[in-house]
Amino acid sequence: MVTMTLAVPKELKDKMESFPEINWSEVARQAFRQKVHDLEILMRFKSESTLTEKEALELGAELNKKLAKRYTN
C-alpha cells in the first residue's frame, strides 16, 4: 500500500473530527474505488459505442432534462 496526502477545507476537517469513530481513510479508499470503477465502465461503454460525440452530448442533455422534470414534479 502507498500513502497519499489529501487537502480538505478546514470546515470539512472540523466536521470530520466530530466523528472520531469513522475511519476516514477507508471512506476515501471506497470513494476512490467506486470512482475508478465508474470510469472503467464509462471507458468500456465509450470504446464500444457508435455514437458521435455530438449525439452523446445531445442524448445526455435530453436525459438530464427528463430526470430534472421527473424529480422536480
The per-residue pLDDT for range 31-56, each reduced to its tens digit, is 999 999 999 998 888 888 888 889 98
Please state, in angstroms and rounded to a whole number, the distance separating the CA atoms of residues 24 and 45. Answer: 32
From the list 66, 33, 60, 26, the residue with the least C-alpha distance to 45 is: 60
Which amino acid is it at 59? L
Sign of the C-alpha dihedral computed for residues 49, 51, 54 and 56 taken in this order: negative
Residue 22 gets which letter from DSSP? S
Q: Let me know: does 55 contact 63? Beta carbons within 8 Å.
A: no
pTM for the predicted model, two decimal places: 0.65
- Over residues 1-10, the pLDDT tens digits come to 899 999 999 9
